[in-house]
Structure 1
Amino acid sequence: MAHKKVLVLGGNFGGLTAALAVRHELHGEVDVRVVSQSDEFIFNPSLIWLPFGKRRPSDLSFPLAPTFDTHGIDFVHAAATGLDLAGKKVMTSSATYDYDYLVIATGYRNNFAAVPGLGPGGNAYTITTLEDAIHAGEGWRRFLSNPGDIVIGASQGAGCFGAAYEYLFNVSHQLRKAGLKKQVKLTYVSSEPFLGHFGIGGLPHGEALLGMFLKKERIEAVVNTAMDHVDEGRLVLSDDRTFDFSYSMIIPPFVGQDFIRDTPGIADDKGYVKVRDTYQTNDYDDVYAVGIAAQVTVPWQSAVPVGIPKTGFPTERMAHVAARNIAAQIKGEPLGSHEAFGDMPAVCVMDAGNNGVIILADKMLPPRGHGILIPGPQAHA
């Protein structure tokens, strides 16, 4: 009897985990193919260190093909370009592939249009892709030869606040190492309603802890604000306040892939796929979405739009839920794996230059039973 075909789109945290987990759940009795526009896995959490020379690109990447080959998974280095969900086919830049089960793990794109002056050739750096982080490092080295004030921030709609905080404190640490700390004004600008919101609603004492960290590092914070645009050497907020800088790194909002957004009936206007707590799409039992590609409903309203972080740990949780449910479907068993995004535990280790914070909570989103932030050098990498 022919094996069922599982097609996975994307080869980073969500795609890699889903592909390996499906093979494991079915003890190899399944044909798994991964289609990815990139032929390398990038460990995105380490991009914060690359601009300062604490990591090299080769330290946080590896080729996908050998890993998949070792596990009996077919790898196709190509870009997905369209979905035929009724016909169970995926069009790519190299060929069309059919499937019995589909996992969409296509990640994100930077939405630089949210703040004019961001993006390639713009007036501020970001670190959300390997190429972006390399450029941020080039700018940092130029800054060291001609220092001035610095602005680090996360724009309206951004969700990756942990990276913004990590970069902020690593910049502060690097300034101290370079003997520049006293002469550089360092400002943090964020759409968060309050310090330590992190895009997950905050945790007990988080605002006070982050405030203490910023005070210790002599960092000025501006929160609950939107960015209007970035001129050369100047950030302009929506209320017309301005912050001049010689170096700036800003985390933009993310959006999904265009071909996902353009597929009728499965995605919102940002290109995120609407899913159930099984990570099946709302209308197709044989189509799953995990990681940033999956839509998560924000359980609050804020004056300035705030996104939700879905990278890393929650992406892997989603991928395992999807893999277990696909395995159950193939074996003819009822689906037994359910985990809404907000009910996942929150686990994060945030580096802060020469210090850090471990973030733990019973649920990713409120209401929660408990949550804690543990500061100390044990969280520093």
Structure 2
Amino acid sequence: MTEEGTVAKRVVVLGASFAGLTAAFDIKRLTGDASDVTVVSSRDRFVFVPSLIWVVSGDRNLEDVSFELAPAFQKKNINFVHAAAQRIDPDEQKVYLADGSALPYDFLFIGTGAHLNFDAVPGLGPERGFTHSVCTIEHALQAQKAWSEFLQDPGPIVVGAAQGASCFGAAYEVVLNLEYALRKAGLRDRATVSFFTSEPYLGHFGLGGMDKASRQIHTFFRRFGIRGIPNVAIEEVSPDAIRLSNGVTLAYKYAVVIPPFLGADAVRNSPGIGNEAGWVPVNENYQHPRYPNIYAGGVAVAVAPFEETPIPTGVPKTGYMSEVMGRVAGHNIAAQIKGQKPKGALVAEMGAMCILDAGNTGMVIMLDKIFGKRNLDFMLPGFFIHWGKLLFETYFIWKASTGKTYLP
């Protein structure tokens, strides 16, 4: 109940990563007592996913790259439910949880991220397959344990991005960081390093390419002796080899592969909410075209590829892009609650910033828009990039854990 005696609007936020966290804090900050915000997440910690590449090599641990969600939300008078969302009923305006209980809402924000579709490729993934992943903290810790064992008896390393994958930057960071870790350990001469990708060429990134960044990827690979194989799909993964669509078979003793993504289970279980793959369609206000009280942001949003590629590729939705989407959606939910006009931000015209770490070097990439003709295509390489990314990790975790999501 507000001071004016009106009933606070019930806002449910599904997901508590970059988009969901930003939306929740912004909605509450902008609406105060006019909203009753509840965040639902199957995870009880926020994880700074870009740093999971360092967890694999043992340079970072869980506490370095994450914080507990409940205390952070409690300080801002936001409710937190540690549970998995099962499905959404937009007609009843309820979210059903895995335990069968239901949360009613007046407004819903979907920031559920992705389902890792390891089953799309035989033998893929750490649970029912043979490859490692850096997409979750659990997977990164498993990969870290296996990496420690690998260093005792090295062999061929293979890193790649499967057909339909979209998180290409992480794949490049993994291969460059593992190569650097081998050099640090004095073991580089005991392991070959190979990289494959569904991108039509190295450095395409699912964005139609970035000339300067693409050239820098080639420079890194030549300098560090990494074999690059673009424009391929995986046909099969066995315990010691990956067979590719171009006829090449890569033997490995340690492999990390970025899988294709699907929309989250809660969306795929909810007819009318997402498309066939489980991605949520939105307009420029990040508002569902059919249900005006439902918004979405981050990885959960449906974004069509800029161009068709010979091997299917997805569009990356970086932490920066997810944060922007969460902020726009959060502001528009607040505007709807307060009877104000929304503001839009087309995904295709959204800018992008990426800090790509390469161990003891790296590059920062900045674009004025992710698709089409660009006026800004900036790339700066250098040894200082690694330290810049570490500083950004510290800054973002402080900003997010204190609810200061209005900061840049």
Common topology (TM > 0.5): yes
**CA offsets 1:325-350 (integer angstroms, 9 cap, x no match):** 11111111222x11111211111111
Is 1:361 the counterpart of 2:348 in the alignment? no
Identity of aligned residues (%): 42
Question: How many correspondences in the alignment?
Answer: 380
Are 2:178 and 1:171 equivalent residues in the alignment? yes
1:60 positional shift: 1.2
2:276 corresponds, among 265, 269, 288, to: 269
Work out whether residues 109 and 257 of structure 1, in 8 Å CA contact, stay in contact via their aligned partners in 2. yes
Question: Could you tell me which residue of structure 1 aligns to residue 379 of structure 2?
Answer: 373
Q: Who is 2:71 aligned against?
A: 66
State the distance in 2 between where 1:3 and 1:281 align.
22
Query: What is the CA–CA distance in structure 1 between the aligned matches of 2:312 and 2:371, rounded to whole Å?
Result: 16
Shift of 1:2: 1.1
Q: Is 1:226 the counterpart of 2:233 in the alignment?
A: yes
Aligned to 1:11, which of 13, 16, 26? Answer: 16
Which of 312, 316, 328 is the aligned partner of 2:323? 316
Aligned match of 1:284: 291
SS in 2 for 1:139: helix
| C-alpha deviation, 1:18, in angstroms | 0.5
Per-residue deviation at 1:57? 1.1
In 2, Cα distance between equivalents of 1:167 and 1:28: 44
Tell me the distance in 1 between the aligned counterparts of 2:272 and 2:128.
Answer: 35
Query: Equivalents in 2 of 1:115, 1:375: separation in Å?
Result: 34
| 8 Å contact from structure 1 (residues 108, 293) kept in 2 | yes
Residue 391 (structure 2) aligns with = none
Amino acid corresponding to residue 234 of structure 1 in structure 2: A
DSSP-derived class of the 1:56 partner? coil
Counterpart of 1:356, as a letter, is G
How far apart in 1 are the matches of 2:75 and 2:183?
Answer: 45
Deviation at 1:28, TM superposition (A): 4.4
CA shift, 1:106, in A, is: 0.8
Paired position in structure 2 for 1:132: 139
Where does residue 197 of structure 2 map in the other structure? 190
Gaps of 5+ in 2: 1-5, 388-408
* 1:21 counterpart residue number: 26
Paired residue type of 1:53: G
**TM-score (structure 2 length as normaliser):** 0.91
Question: Is 1:331 aligned to 2:329, yes or no?
Answer: no
Q: Which runs of 5+ in 1 are unaligned?
A: none
> Which of the residues 235, 238, 243 maps onto 2:245?
238
State the shift of 1:222 in Å. 0.2
Q: 1:311 Cα deviation (Å)?
A: 3.1
Q: Which residue of 2 aligns with 1:48?
A: 53
Q: Are the equivalent residues in 1 in contact too, given 2:163–2:313 (CA < 8 A)?
A: yes
Aligned partner letter, 2:130: N
Q: CA deviation at 1:259?
A: 2.8
Aligned-residue Cα RMSD (Å) equals 1.2
Quote the Cα distance in structure 1 between the aligned partners of 2:243 and 2:384: 37
Output the amino acid matched with 1:122: G
2:148 maps to: 141
* Structure 2 CA distance for aligned equivalents of residues 133 and 168 of structure 1: 14
Q: Does 1:150 align with 2:157?
A: yes
SS in structure 1 of the partner of residue 211 of structure 2: coil
1:369 shift after superposition: 1.8
After TM superposition, where is structure 1 displaced by more than 3 Å over at least 4 residues in a row? Answer: none
Tell me the residue number matched to 2:108. 102
- TM superposition shift of 1:189: 0.5
2:213–2:365 Cα contact (<8 Å) kept: no
Q: Contact between 2:206 and 2:305, CA under 8 Å: does it hold in 1? A: no
TM-score, normalised on structure 1?
0.97
For residue 271 of structure 2, give the secondary structure of its aligned residue in structure 1.
coil
Residue in 2 aligned with 1:75?
Answer: 80
Counterpart AA for 1:102: L
Structure 1 residue matching 2:34: 3-state secondary structure: coil
Matched residue of 1:127: which SS?
coil
